[in-house]
């Protein structure tokens, strides 16, 4: 085929799919590396070794290590949307449904995958050059949680649901950070019960 010839659509699709597979492969390797070694330990060389690619190939797709971390945040937005969609409960009693939302939100936020995202947010948030991207991701994540709570609690006023969801997510994120310091046995069950009472109070509900 002449150098200037237009590639057939099938070849373009194949190339696009190959690029997407490579990006997913690198992002998975980066997530696993951060989960095990933290952001500081997720060096360019270690990430390249884990995905069995040269750093030059990774640079072609992401630019540099920071570009890779930004891509990780962006790709996680879709994953977060899908995960939060599963929080919508079918419990007929509102208090039970709220309890399920609090516990399921805790399970999501305390997962290894979310902890990795939190570490990346904190790392990039310290860099003024990337504040805008990090804030954009944070707003998108917060909006995803709010939407899930609204869908799960349609009987409650939207303003009260938003207030309860924002309190729950902020408090649970704080508990995740505490748990990371205290170790894997820090279940934070008592603190979650206190939070649940506060959320029910905002929604003007009583625990069943």
Averaged in consecutive runs of 10 residues, what is the pLDDT profile of the chain (208 residues)?
61 84 92 89 92 92 89 78 71 88 87 83 82 84 87 92 94 87 78 95 84
Provide the CB-side half-sphere exposure for 159 (13 A, CA). 0
Long-range CB contacts for residues 192-197, cutoff 8 Å, separation at least 24: 192/102, 192/103, 192/106, 195/102, 195/167, 195/168, 195/171, 196/98, 196/99, 196/102
Please give the CATH topology (third level) of the domain spanning 8-63.
Arc Repressor Mutant, subunit A (1.10.10)
d(CA 93, CA 201): 16
d(CA 156, CA 158): 6
What is the pTM assigned to this prediction? 0.74
Nearest by Cα to 173 from 115, 133, 122: 115
What pLDDT shows up at residue 6?
Answer: 55
What pLDDT shows up at residue 160?
Answer: 96
Contact 72, 121 (CB under 8 A): no
d(CA 133, CA 115): 18
Per-residue pLDDT tens for 12-62? 888 888 889 999 999 999 989 998 888 888 999 999 999 999 999 999 999
What pLDDT shows up at residue 3?
Answer: 56
Q: What stretch(es) of the chain map to CATH 1.10.357.10? A: 65-208
Q: What stretch(es) of the chain map to CATH 1.10.10.60? A: 8-63
What pLDDT shows up at residue 170?
Answer: 93
Contact 152, 101 (CB under 8 A): yes
Nearest by Cα to 23 from 66, 44, 53, 45: 53
Axis crossing angle, helix 9-41 with helix 44-51, rounded to the nearest 10: 130
What pLDDT shows up at residue 184?
Answer: 63
What pLDDT shows up at residue 196?
Answer: 96
Please give the CATH topology (third level) of the domain spanning 65-208.
Tetracycline Repressor; domain 2 (1.10.357)
């Amino acid at each position: 085929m002449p150098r200037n010839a237009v590639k057939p659509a099938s070849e373009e699709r194949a190339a696009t799919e190959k690029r997407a597979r490579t990006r997913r492969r690198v992002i998975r390797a980066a997530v696993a590396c951060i989960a095990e070694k933290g952001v500081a330990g997720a060096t360019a060389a270690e990430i390249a070794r884990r995905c069995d690619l040269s750093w030059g190939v990774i640079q072609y797709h992401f630019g540099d290590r920071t570009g890779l971390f930004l891509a990780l945040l962006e790709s996680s937005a879709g994953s977060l949307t899908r995960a939060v969609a599963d929080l919508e409960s079918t419990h007929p009693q509102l208090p039970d449904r709220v309890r399920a939302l609090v516990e399921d939100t805790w399970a999501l936020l305390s997962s290894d995958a979310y902890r990795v995202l939190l570490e990346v947010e904190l790392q990039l948030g310290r860099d003024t050059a990337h504040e805008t991207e990090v804030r954009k991701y944070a707003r998108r994540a917060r909006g995803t949680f709010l939407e899930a709570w609204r869908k799960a609690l349609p009987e409650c006023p939207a303003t009260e649901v938003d207030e309860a969801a924002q309190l729950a997510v902020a408090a649970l994120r704080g508990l995740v950070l505490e748990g990371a310091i205290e170790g894997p046995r820090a279940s934070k069950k008592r603190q979650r019960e206190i939070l649940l009472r506060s959320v029910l109070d905002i929604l003007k509900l009583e625990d069943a």
